[in-house]
Chains A and B, each alone.
Chain A
Amino acid sequence: EDQVTQSPEALRLQEGESSSLNCSYTVSGLRGLFWYRQDPGKGPEFLFTLYSAGEEKEKERLKATLTKKESFLHITAPKPEDSATYLCAVLPGGSNYKLTFGKGTLLTVNP
């Protein structure tokens, strides 16, 4: 069974304090790994797609990386507006559409 585990469940940082969120996965083949950001009471917002081990993507203070078993979302010098739940999802090799989502990491950045 395909599984996605995100850690930690919650992370509290001070403004400017860099850290990483983890997404480990067990899937039969990997067609893609996707990161989303979700603000309270809203739908998730797509951030990045990673397709193969070694790939990296960056956007402002966020950088996503991928290995054969996990992905990291690195947050450099975060600001309070980066506070959100970050979701990771995988598209298994045998699926054309069905994503398996992790339960997310709730990030709080204090000023």
Chain B
Amino acid sequence: DVKVTQSSRYLVKRTGEKVFLECVQDMDHENMFWYRQDPGLGLRLIYFSYDVKMKEKGDIPEGYSVSREKKERFSLILESASTNQTSMYLCASGPGGRMVGELFFGEGSRLTVL
């Protein structure tokens, strides 16, 4: 079974702290994604990576950065957490080509910023 593992299920941080969310996939997928999910807003793409060290901005990249040093690992970094970044963060991986929309998601990381 494909597995996408997110490092933390629940985090509580203070405003201004630096936050690292890590994601590991075991299917050798080229593509990895970070989404956030908020009630009433649905899933919104933060960043996408299609290869090691390669990344593209999604719809809401402000306040976030990402790192992909190894194919299986994709990290999301909040440089200085703010209360409006309280959300559920979902990592996903998937193949390229025609199946690019067939994503495998992790269990999610629920972040609360106080």
Contact = CB atoms under 8 A, between A and B. Distances in A.
Contact of B98 (A32, A101, A103): A32
Interface string B59-103: 100000000000000000000000000000010100010111111
A44 B107 CA distance: 8
B101 A91 contact: yes
Q: Interface SS of chain A: helix, strand, loop or mixed?
A: loop
A34 B106 CA distance: 18
B105 A49 contact: no
Listed residue (A44, A45, A104) with the most chain B CB atoms within 10 angstroms of its CB:
A44
Interface in B21-63: 31, 33, 40-43, 45, 48, 50, 56, 58-59
A87 B36 CA distance: 15
Nearest to A101: B43
Interface residues of A, number: 22
A49 B92 contact: no
Nearest to B33: A97
Contact of A44 (B48, B59, B99, B105): B105
Listed residue (B56, B90, B100) with the most chain A CB atoms within 10 angstroms of its CB:
B100
A91 B92 CA distance: 16
Interface in A44-71: 44-46, 49, 51
A111 B33 CA distance: 37
Interface string A94-111: 001111011110000000
Interface of B: 4, 31, 33, 40-43, 45, 48, 50, 56, 58-59, 90, 92, 96, 98-108
5 contacts: A31-B98, A41-B108, A43-B107, A46-B104, A97-B50
